[in-house]
Amino acid sequence: MRKIKFGVIGLKGVGQTHINEIANIEGAELTAVADINEEVGKFVSSKYNVKWYKNYEDMLAMEDLDAISICTPHFLHFPMVMKALNYGKHVLVEKPMAITVKEADQMIEEARRRGLKLGVVYQRRTDPTYQKIKEMISQGEIGRIYRACMEVCTFRSQAYYDRDAWRGKWATEGGGVLINQTIHQIDILQWLVGKPVEVCGKIGTFYHNVEVEDIASAVIKFENEAHGVIQVTTIDPINFERFEICGEKGKIVSEDGRNEIKYAILDKSVKEYIFSETTSLKPTYQWNRIEIKRDSTMPGHRKIIEDFVRAIVDDRDPMIPGEEGKVSLEIVNAIILSSFEGRSVSIPIDREAYERLIKEKLGARRSQSTVL
C-alpha cells in the first residue's frame, strides 16, 4: 500500500496527538506541519524531520501532500477545511467540524463536488464499550429503543478559559460545554439511538465568566420516535458520565470509566407486561455485567487516522464522514437555538435562523464593549 502523505495544521494539544499517531501508522507519512507559533513549529519540525510552515496555505500548495489533519481552534475549522479542499487535499478535521451546521453543509458539498474525502474525528466511536453497546442494539438484544438518558458532568476552571483567548466566546468556540466538552457523547448518543428529528433545549451560564453555556439540558425526539434526555455541565468538580438506553426487551447502562456494561433483559416485552390481565404482575429480569477489555496499544485517534488512510487508498467513505460528523453539531446548534427561541425546533434546523442568532450574540457583545 502506498503511503499517504499528511500535513498537520495546529501543533499543540490534540495536534500533537495526530502527529504521534501518524508517525505510528504504517500507511501514513508525516510530510509537513503548520503553526503560527514559531517556537512550537520549529520544535516539531526538528523532532520529526519535516518542514514547518508559518502560513498553512504555503503548506497546502505542496504537490506531494495527500491529506491534511486540522487541529486548530473551532472557528478556524471551516475556512481551513474549505481552503484545503480547494487545494485538492483530503481532510480529516477535529471535532466539532465547524461552528454552525450551515458551514458543515458547505464543507460536505465541496468535498463531494471535488471527489475528496472529508472525515471527522469522533474517536469515542472506537471505544470497545460503545462498540459493544452498538453491537447489542444492532442485534436486537433490547428490542426497539423507546427511551435514552445521557448525563455528563465535567469540570473546567476559569483559568482554562482565560488561558486561550478563543475559548468561551460565541465567535471562536461556537458554544461551551455542548460544542466542546460533550459533543463526543452527543455523537455517541445519536449513533446508538438514531437520528434526531426534534429538540427542546435550555442552556445557561451559572458560574464561569464566559459568553457561552456551562450547563445545558435537552429533550430529543429521534426518528424512531424514541425520547432522549440529556444534561451536561462544566461546573461539576465531582465528575460523572452515564448512558441509559431502554428498549422493549430490556435496558443497557454504561457509567463512569466505561470498563463495564450493565444490562437487563426482560422475560417478556414491555407491551406484554403492560397489557397483561394481572394488575399485580411484577416484571422478571436480572442484571448482567460485561467486563470490557481495552487495547492500550491501539488508541482511538490512531484507529480514526488509520481508517482515514485506508479510505483514501480504497476510495471509500471514512469511518465518520462529514455527513455523519454533522449530526452531533446539528443537535448542539438545535439545543442552543431552541433555548434562545424558547420553543422546540425541528431537525434539519433553520440554517439562516441559527446564523442570525450567532450574529446577534456577536452584535450584543460588540455593543456591550462599546458601552464599557
Q: For the domain that residue 231 is a member of, what is the CATH number?
A: 3.30.360.10
Query: What is the rounded CA–CA span in Å between residue 69 and residue 361?
Result: 30
Q: Same domain, yes or no, for 162 and 302?
A: no
Average pLDDT over residues 111-121: 98
Task: Tell me the C-alpha distance between 178 and 174, whole Å.
Answer: 9
One-letter amino acid for residue 121 of the chain: V
Q: Is residue 371 part of a domain?
A: no
Residues 253, 144 within the same domain: yes
User: Cis peptide leading into 96, omega within 30 of 0?
Assistant: yes
Q: Is residue 205 part of a domain?
A: yes
For the sheet with 90-94, list strands across it: 51-53, 28-34, 4-9, 67-70, 90-94, 118-121
67, HSE (Cβ side, Cα atoms, 13 Å): 30
168 lies in the same domain as 282? yes
Stated pTM of the model: 0.95
Lowest pLDDT segment from 16-25, 61-70, 195-204, 252-261? 252-261
The percentage of the chain sitting over the pLDDT mark of 90, rounded to a whole number, equals 90
Burial of 305: CB neighbours in 10 Å, binned 0-12, 13-18, 19+: buried
For the domain that residue 81 is a member of, what is the CATH number? 3.40.50.720
User: Are 350 and 225 contained in the same domain?
Assistant: yes
Q: What is the distance between the alpha carbons of residues 42 and 12, in angstroms, rounded to a whole number? A: 12
155 and 90, same domain (yes or no): no
User: Cell numbers at residue 167, please?
Assistant: 475559548
Q: Is the pLDDT reported for residue 372 higher than 60? A: no
Q: How far apart are CA 211 and CA 223, in angstroms?
A: 32
* Cβ-Cβ contacts under 8 Å for 326 (sequence gap 6 or more): 97, 101, 104, 105, 108
Look at 26-30, 122-126, 291-295, 361-365 and tell me which has the smallest mean pLDDT.
361-365
Q: How confident is the model at residue 212 (pLDDT cuts 50, 70, 90)?
A: very high
- Domain assignment of residue 28, yes or no: yes
How far is C-alpha 319 from the geometric centre of its chain's CA atoms?
13
In the predicted structure, residue 364 carries a pLDDT above the cut 70: no
**pLDDT for residue 362:** 76
Angle at which helices 351-371 and 101-114 cross, to 10°: 130
Strand partners, 244: 149, 253
Same domain, 279 and 147: yes
The answer to whether position 20 is within a domain reads yes
Q: For residue 247, what is its C-alpha cell?
A: 428498549
- Asked whether the predicted pLDDT for residue 327 surpasses 70, the reply is yes
Residues 172 and 266 in one domain: yes
Q: What is the model's pLDDT at position 258?
A: 73
Q: In terms of domains, do 215 and 358 share one?
A: yes
Question: For residue 289, what are the domain limits?
Answer: 126-296+328-366
Query: Strand (E) positions, 60-204?
Result: 67-70, 90-94, 118-121, 145-155, 196-204
Report the range of poorest mean pLDDT among 33-47, 162-176, 291-305. 291-305
Phi, psi for residue 327 in degrees, rounded to 5: -65, -50
**Model pLDDT for residues 233-281, shown as the tens digit of each residue:** 999 999 999 999 999 999 999 998 678 999 999 999 999 999 987 766 7
Using only C-alpha atoms, the chain has a radius of gyration, in whole angstroms, of 22
pLDDT at 305 over 90: yes
Task: Please provide the distance, in angstroms rounded to a whole number, between the alpha carbons at the two ends of the chain.
Answer: 60
Same domain, 10 and 61: yes
pLDDT(350) > 70: yes
Q: Are residues 184 and 332 in the same domain?
A: yes
Among left, alpha and beta (phi > 0; psi -120 to 50; other), residue 285 is beta
Per the domain annotation, does 372 fall within a domain? Answer: no
What's the confidence (pLDDT) of residue 367?
44
Q: Total domain count for the chain?
A: 2
Sign of CA dihedral 313, 192, 140, 264: positive
324: nearest Cα among 160, 104, 60, 18: 104
Crossing angle between the packed helical segments 101-114 and 74-86, to the nearest 10 degrees: 20
Element containing residue 52 per DSSP (H, E): strand 51-53
97 and 212, same domain (yes or no): no
- Distance between CA 201 and CA 121 in Å, rounded? 25
pLDDT digits (tens, 9 = 90+) for 131-181: 999 999 999 999 999 999 999 999 999 999 999 999 999 999 999 999 999
Residues 114, 140 share a domain: no
